[in-house]
Chain A
């Protein structure tokens, strides 16, 4: 495997860790699947549909999201939104993220100064 592939692979691993946090955070407002992909991409967290759609279903199964089919528009769409349990998990993840960011800044700062 060459360096470029290794970088891509590890970037993907890094992003994977952010996806749940990003998704839960954005779903404070209801979104349907495709719109969520667009929003994540605009915010700099690109994700493929075949990763996001199953993830949404899994988070729903775990009680972190709830879904509802909206049939009033021209096309029926399934909207997802965060639940109270999801908010609890999100807030815990945000805390973990903040701690990790501080730690990483120290590590990366240390790396740069060496």
Chain B
């Protein structure tokens, strides 16, 4: 129990420190605590009380004033910027090129404009998200009357969310948000021989449905950021994750199962392009039903995984 308390205390100090300093300060603190325990015959609790609140001690090591985005999130922030902005630029370039192929209209100026726009927007939102996380982190760390009892000893036993799943989620999210918001007309069927394109969506009324798609994606993005910043599978995180996933899935299914989302002229347009008779409005509607089923399946499987992993941790 003592070793765990010591370990958790040190982790709580070094989490605020730059990665270069963590190992050295961890080793030093271990030695310092052991020396005091041996020589002053104090309890571990008393030694830790004397050392003080882990966050205060960490900030004394840091010396500098509190950050806009502090050491705790700095590495993740930089990695997110380095990953997401190039990927977004790549996606928007690909989508622009696809539009060029479909519409036979290409504007280099427009391409540059959209690249610049997506880079600035991505940078802004990522920076704001991390600034909010830093502020929340400062507020939730209560520095009044700190006592070793207040530390969560189970915290470092919990399996964190895999970084790779969070990155994959962010990339998939980016692809779909760009596709549905900027290039919805691409979603359809294109004939290379005749250079004709059939859009699945009813573009005249599309914006009505887009609002709900964006709300669902917004909820999924919040869920991703909660996983990213909390990065632990405790009861509250899991309930939040499952609930947000359920709400987002429900909204998307509701939208995809709305016949009014689809292009009412699908059957005629398919016939004009000499598609077989079974390829018609109902066929495309059934594809969207299948997509809705997949959304339900993904929700069930992911929720089961999250809850069962939490149950395994608890049992352990």
Binding site for B on A (CB under 8 A): 32-34, 38, 48-51, 53-54, 57-58, 69, 75-78
Contacts and interface: CB of A to CB of B under 8 A. Distances in A.
Contact of A34 (B24, B25, B32): B32
Identify whether the interface residues of B are mostly helix, strand, loop, or mixed.
helix
A50 B28 contact: no
B258 interface: no
A38 to B, nearest CB: 8
Interface stretch (B54-62, B98-106, B193-201): B54-62
B35 A50 contact: no
24 contacts: A32-B31, A32-B35, A33-B28, A33-B31, A33-B32, A34-B31, A34-B36, A49-B36, A49-B51, A50-B52, A50-B56, A50-B57, A50-B60, A51-B60, A53-B28, A54-B61, A57-B25, A57-B61, A58-B63, A69-B27, A75-B31, A76-B27, A78-B24, A78-B27
A93 B120 CA distance: 51
B113 interface: no
A49 B25 CA distance: 13
A98 B56 CA distance: 34
Interface centre among B24, B28, B56 (most CB of A within 10 A): B28
Contact of A48 (B24, B25, B35, B50): B50
Contacts of B25: 57
Interface in B159-174: none
A23 to B, nearest CB: 15
Given A32-B31, A53-B28, 4 more contacts: A38-B39, A49-B36, A54-B57, A57-B25
Contact of A77 (B31, B50, B57): B31
A54 B57 CA distance: 8
Contacts of A76: 27, 31
Contacts of B157: none
Nearest to B58: A54
B34 interface: yes
Given A49-B51, A53-B28, A76-B27, A34 B63 contact: no
Contacts of B31: 32-34, 75-78
A80 to B, nearest CB: 10
A54 B63 contact: yes
Contacts of A48: 50
